[in-house]
Amino acid sequence: MLKASENLFLIALKTLLQSKRLYIGILLIAVINGFYVVNNELYKSKYIGNETIINGYVKELNIDGNHLKMVIYSKEQIIVNYYIDSLEELNIIKQTYFLGDYIKATGVMERPKTNTVFNLFNYKNYLLSQKIYFIFKAENIEKLNISPKLFYIIKKKVISRIESIKKSSPYIKNYLISKTDDIDESILESYQNNGLNHLLSLSSDQLSLLATFILFVISKKSKHKFLNYFLVSIVLCFYLLISGSPPSLLRAVMMFVFLKINELFELKVTTINLFLLIFSLLLLYNPYYIYHLGFVFSFSISFYLIIFKNLINQYDNYIIKSLLISSIAFLVSMPVLINTFFEINLLTPIINLIFIPIFSFVIFPFSIITFLFPFLDNLLYLVITFTEALSKMLSNISIFTITLKTINPLIFFLYYLVITYLLVAFKNKKYYCLIYIPVGLLIHYYSSYFNIYPVITFIDVGQGDSILIELPQNKGNILIDTGGFFNYSNDEWSKKKEYSIAISKIIPYLKSRGIKSLDYLILTHGDYDHLGEGKKLLSKFKINKLIFNSGNNNHFESELMNYAQDKGNSYEQYNQATLNINGYFFYFLNKQTKQNENEDSLIIYTKLNNKNILLMGDAGISSEKYLINEYNLPKMDILKIGHHGSKNSTSTQFLELLRPNYSVISVGLNNRFNHPHEQVLKLLNDYQFKYYLTSLSGSIKFIIKDSIIIKTCL
């Protein structure tokens, strides 16, 4: 009787597990929960946020100049930042702190920062996708005499062995512990340009290859299928822990385990249902996975490859089948690529056809084998060198790379509707529907011509200036100043890896607006925080003409002029002049020539859609007096306050004359100059003038319609 009831239970369980409704129900719960958690910014942190002392094991450790960054685990993962005071202390830290050490840190908790430039990488969301809710700013760190756990000892030995392999260790480190830090940045950039990022993270195919190899070895000793699958799953789970459990690998391991359970117990659950179950479980575990690129790419591409497997299996030819898989993956990833990198490479499906076999069947397996047998290092390195050279060569073919403006959620959804329709049509042999791809991309590519209002963005570049002016219908794109990150340390040991505002903020923002080139780069004066990123911009972005002021050139200006000349860029020097860009006039008001960089600043007045705009550069009170005496200035709709709101700018008389509707102060948070000065803010408050600080609001965008629409990034 008991056996009969057990059989009935198993039959009922199998019936339930084969029901689509079960998985759709779990999916709906996961999506609704995820939407609620993310929109309400609910964190399940075990920290309150006011802790001043934390203890934990060191999971990751990195030193960049005088910056020590550790990921430690105590109650949960937390990032610890510590700044080193001297070369002597740096040497002590290098000899004292290692992976797995138990440390005590004293300091203050901070919330991770979000992006301060529209459309760009959001560090806070990235950390949330890893269940990291706080950053600890340490004033003191101390190693405690507590032995590391076995896991850390093993991982430390793994890393030590990898680093002993001289030439190909960066790729072995990537495939074993998911770290690309040691791969040259120019190589990573070429992979990104070619759409090959996914090859640096483990795919389900690569994992299947690894699992098949392990299973083959184990099967030589055991013929027990359950035991063999169990042992393989244990090895894969250990591999998952060592690598840090990235979502793409987590999905692949879970899929392997669930498929083997499905096979062993003859549950007859479809692959798509298992896929939906894994997606739902991971989303329930961490709703912020939606901000993790690996998670998004892994699940979106896998989903489409599963539901269109019949389309793929229509073809027997390996090359055609591979090209079709690569094309589907490219199409599906396209909306995400557009909103992340603002560019796509139309050659990506073909490039993938070349690179996927190299990575999947050579670099990946040989990375594992070389870890076990280091004498193969030279052979693996030879393949890596060839692959990197090929990637760099292909990334230089820029004609097929197109810049596309970021898309809103509605257009994003529309993209996927069209992609799904095209794949269904292709399956039904309606090949003419493929014309929708180039037509859609052309419309998107030229979408900036449909913008009917001017837009001004005060880009947050920290302590500096950078202003983007976009004229209607793509009639002109002008960047005024570039910002400039200056490392004030004179000690070589304390200098960090080079950071570029142009590469990290300005160029990505330009691309996110669909801007392929700048008509003008205007540099108001020679201070580094206004033109310091000029060289990087010229080397990485197309600029038609540069404009400098006609004051006394300092060495920064002279260097940039020479660099522009060498690059073949034309430039002019302005003081009092008028620039006509397709019927839009920009007036340069400062015809003074003084022995002072700030007072030599170009002062620019323009009128866009009947709105008066005045940009003061770093000009101070003496230049304001000059403007009052020299010109009959109207009331301003937008005023860029001079010299970051210092005490030497923005007089009472000047504000009374201009009475700006909106003022902007471009300034860095907690800057060393204590800008803006309290008397400037007091003056603006006394007159009840509306003002914005980039340090508090992030980037500030003015859409100049009949009434001005203002958007702030923070």
pLDDT above 70 as % of the chain: 98
User: Are 177 and 103 contained in the same domain?
Assistant: no
pLDDT at 3: 61
Is residue 700 within 8 Å of 664, Cβ to Cβ? yes
Q: What is the mean pLDDT of residues 549-578?
A: 88
pLDDT at 205 over 80: no
User: Are 367 and 501 contained in the same domain?
Assistant: no
Q: Looking at the domain assignment, is residue 440 inside a domain?
A: no
Q: Which one of 176-180, 196-200, 603-607 scores highest in mean pLDDT?
A: 603-607
Is residue 78 within 8 Å of 88, Cβ to Cβ? no
Complete DSSP assignment for 359-415: IIIIIHHHHHHHHH-GGGHHHHHHHHHHHHHHHHHHHT-GGGEEE-----HHHHHHH
Confidence category of residue 488, pLDDT binned at 50, 70, 90: low
- Cβ neighbours for 688, distance < 8 A, ≥ 6 positions apart: none
User: Are 530 and 549 contained in the same domain?
Assistant: yes
User: Are 192 and 273 contained in the same domain?
Assistant: yes
Single residue among 148, 171, 196 that ends a domain in this structure: 148
User: Are 618 and 699 contained in the same domain?
Assistant: yes
Among the listed residues 652, 638, 661, the one whose alpha carbon sits nearest the alpha carbon of residue 686: 652
pLDDT at 696 over 70: yes
615 pairs with which residues across the strands? Answer: 604, 640
User: Are 458 and 317 contained in the same domain?
Assistant: no
User: Are 99 and 180 contained in the same domain?
Assistant: no
Confidence category of residue 490, pLDDT binned at 50, 70, 90: low
Could you give the angle at the alpha carbon of 303 between the alpha carbons of 297 and 304, nearest 5°?
Answer: 95
pLDDT at 6: 60
Q: Looking at the domain assignment, is residue 23 inside a domain?
A: no
Which domain CATH number covers 660?
Answer: 3.60.15.10
Distance CA 278, CA 608 (A): 53
Confidence category of residue 674, pLDDT binned at 50, 70, 90: very high
Lowest mean pLDDT among 11-20, 365-374, 571-580: 11-20
pLDDT at 504 over 90: yes
User: Are 587 and 648 contained in the same domain?
Assistant: yes
Q: Looking at the domain assignment, is residue 26 inside a domain?
A: no
Whole-number CA gyration radius for the chain: 29
pLDDT at 508: 98
pLDDT at 1 over 60: no
Among the listed residues 604, 626, 628, the one whose alpha carbon sits nearest the alpha carbon of residue 524: 604
Q: Looking at the domain assignment, is residue 647 inside a domain?
A: yes
pLDDT at 5: 64
Q: pLDDT tens across 641-672, in order?
A: 999 999 999 999 999 999 999 999 999 998 99
Which domain CATH number covers 67?
Answer: 2.40.50.140
User: Are 238 and 283 contained in the same domain?
Assistant: yes
Backbone angles phi, psi at 71, to 5 degrees: -105, 120
Single residue among 148, 168, 194 that ends a domain in this structure: 148
pLDDT at 198: 82
pLDDT at 132 over 90: yes
Q: pLDDT tens across 412-445, in order?
A: 999 999 999 999 999 999 999 999 999 999 999 9
Q: Looking at the domain assignment, is residue 45 inside a domain?
A: no
Q: pLDDT tens across 588-627, in order?
A: 998 887 778 888 899 999 999 999 999 999 999 999 999 9
Q: pLDDT tens across 52-98, in order?
A: 999 999 999 999 989 999 999 988 999 999 999 999 999 999 999 99
Write the single-letter amino acid at 221.
K
Write the single-letter amino acid at 266.
E
Q: What is the mean pLDDT of residues 668-697?
A: 95
Q: Looking at the domain assignment, is residue 25 inside a domain?
A: no
Q: What is the number of domains present in the chain? A: 3
User: Are 554 and 610 contained in the same domain?
Assistant: yes
Q: pLDDT tens across 354-409, in order?
A: 999 999 889 999 999 999 999 999 999 999 999 999 999 999 998 999 999 999 99
Q: Looking at the domain assignment, is residue 590 inside a domain?
A: yes
Average pLDDT, the chain: 92
pLDDT at 698 over 60: yes
Q: pLDDT tens across 99-126, in order?
A: 999 999 999 999 999 999 999 999 999 9
Q: pLDDT tens across 355-367, in order?
A: 999 998 899 999 9
592-618: b (≥16 Cβ within 10 Å) or e? beeebbbbbbbbbbbebeebbbbbbbb
Dihedral of the alpha carbons of 312, 316, 320, 323, in degrees to the nearest 10 = 40
Q: What is the mean pLDDT of residues 262-279?
A: 92
pLDDT at 489: 63
Distance CA 187, CA 538 (A): 21
User: Are 540 and 689 contained in the same domain?
Assistant: yes
Q: Looking at the domain assignment, is residue 437 inside a domain?
A: no
User: Are 59 and 186 contained in the same domain?
Assistant: no
Is residue 83 within 8 Å of 67, Cβ to Cβ? yes
Q: How close are the terminal C-alpha atoms of the chain, in Å?
A: 67
Q: What is the mean pLDDT of residues 166-185?
A: 89
Whether cis (ω within 30° of 0) applies to the bond prior to 676 is: yes
Single residue among 117, 148, 179 that ends a domain in this structure: 148
pLDDT at 586: 97
Distance CA 329, CA 474 (A): 32
Q: Which domain holds residue 250?
A: 155-406
Tokens at residue 203, please?
Answer: 């795919």
Distance CA 479, CA 456 (A): 10
pLDDT at 506 over 90: yes
pTM as predicted? 0.94
